[in-house]
A and B are shown apart, each in its own frame.
Chain A
Amino acid sequence: MNECMSKQGFFSLRPCGEPAATNCATCSRPVCSRHLSPTSGFTQCLDCTARGVEGDALRQPGSNPGVDDDREWAYGYRRGYYASHSYAPFNYGDDDSYYDDYDMRSFDRDLGTSNAGITGTDADGKPDWTDS
């Protein structure tokens, strides 16, 4: 019997290890009944469902599905989201976001000390936020 490969735990993550009920239809990993997503009709693990929902969320209002560039649809979504909530504390223009290309460029990974363990980056260079 395969064991569920989902992770669990609050303070630290560990494998679930329960007997698997099935395999996730998306990632094919063995998954137990507790880690199957009810919103997927119990065909996907919670993890895959959440990643799918996140992808959909980021393509919602204001997105431009014709543009392949991740950056474009992310900008587009944000503009649409804030506009739909009448949120305009800053200078959001019609054709641009609050941050322009000049602002964005300096936060590209290759311009940061991305592996230096400095604020804004984590162990593998993925950006996050602050240390204590």
Chain B
Amino acid sequence: MLQRPPRALYSAFDRFPSRKGAGVHIARFARTLFDYTGGGLLYALGGDDFPAHQIEDDVEIVRFSSPFDNYLERAGAFADRLGVLLDSAGDSLRVAHFRDPWSGLAIVTHPHRCRTIFEVNGLPSIELPSAYPAAAPSTLEKIARVEQFVLERADAIVTPAMTIRDHLIGRGIAAAKIDVIPNGADVAQIDGQHDDDEAIAAKPYILYFGSLHPWQGIENLIRAFARVRDLEHLQLVLCCSHESRQAKAYMRLAEKLEVAPRVIWRFGLSAAQLAPWLRNAMLSVAPLTECARNIVQGCSPLKILEAMAAGVPVIASDLPAVRELVTDGVEGLLVQPDRPAALARAIRILFEYPDLRASLGGEGRRRVESTFTWEHAAARLRAVYLRELQ
């Protein structure tokens, strides 16, 4: 079915394009791969609203579109389909870059071997229990064995955080084949002026933007906000990737704590729609919880980097993965995770001291410019391709 033999494959068990952090990451890394190789095949999840097949200049895009409600069935069928695509790609493929073990399983077991790069942002055996609490430990162990199989056979591994790298080394993966490529943010993209800026900036607000996964700590944030309700006119703005049952639960919590009128919800904003909310925020928060996903596995929160790029001071949970991006008291304030009182104290400090806000925001922006732009990430990724494809 492929219309031209691909030299490179980028495979992601994620819908693409999307407004989630994963969507941003895929766009940046896939583009870097295809710029390096002169085009290739992008394989991702689709669905009714997505074209199953696209030709975009030098990139052929195939999306898995069959409806499987069961997660494991969908993951398995996604891999099966990839196997057939690999059959049709034949010997042309020089490099396969994938970001999930389901893709990896099809790739590393395919008879035609090419250089394989596993981009590890998260591991299903660790992250899935929060979405599927009924998953048995024995089932998660089976998934972990699939991960291990792929991790051991991949030629190279890239990951956005030292925390994740350390976790992989702890699983017996050779350190020499792991490259840490932190996530990035674009300073230029966040700058600019929007018609809504004046209205948005009318009252001071704390901004949270991102998903509503339990590990994001939204409940702690709402509880912290209730503790600073005496701060005049201060609002809490939550820009979430989508409206969900979980959002309704948080809305009920805000009502119970009698802060609902001062909590503003926005859903499904595009990057352009989010930008004015970000640049006018008094401060941004990343109240990550102290859970296995954030502690054992690690992460590299884009929301922190994007706030820093916008010159907005950040309050984040004091976790190893966050300390890779933020130095406490320099680019932001780090607070003990899962402690609404500690988070509220930090909010109060930044509300009361505008000079400190300006200092943290300025330093954050400088840190992004010097270290964490997407161009930095792309250069690091190109170096991996250069090494692997020589």
Contact = CB atoms under 8 A, between A and B. Distances in A.
Contacts, number: 237
A118 B213 contact: yes
Given A104-B70, A123-B241, A130-B14, 10 more contacts: A10-B31, A10-B56, A10-B59, A46-B54, A50-B51, A85-B83, A98-B146, A107-B132, A109-B69, A131-B22
Interface in A87-118: 87, 89-90, 97-99, 102-109, 111-118
A77 interface: yes
Contacts of B242: 117, 122-123
B68 A70 contact: yes
A129 B127 CA distance: 9
B301 interface: yes
Contacts of A120: 71, 124, 127-128, 131-132
- Which of B12, B134, B210 has the most C-beta atoms of chain A within 10 angstroms of its own C-beta? B134
Interface of B: 1, 3, 12-15, 17-18, 20-22, 24-25, 27, 31, 45, 47, 50-56, 59, 61-66, 68-77, 79-81, 83-84, 99-100, 102, 109-111, 121-122, 124, 127-128, 130-136, 138-139, 142, 145-146, 149, 160, 183, 210-214, 240-242, 244-247, 268, 270, 299-302
A39 to B, nearest CB: 6
A77 B79 CA distance: 11
Contact of A85 (B64, B110, B130, B247): B110
Contacts of A21: none
A55 interface: yes
Contacts of A90: 142, 145-146, 149
- Which of B12, B21, B213, B268 has the most C-beta atoms of chain A within 10 angstroms of its own C-beta? B213
**What bracket does the count of chain A residues touching chain B fall in?**
35 or more
B66 A54 contact: yes
A122 B15 contact: yes
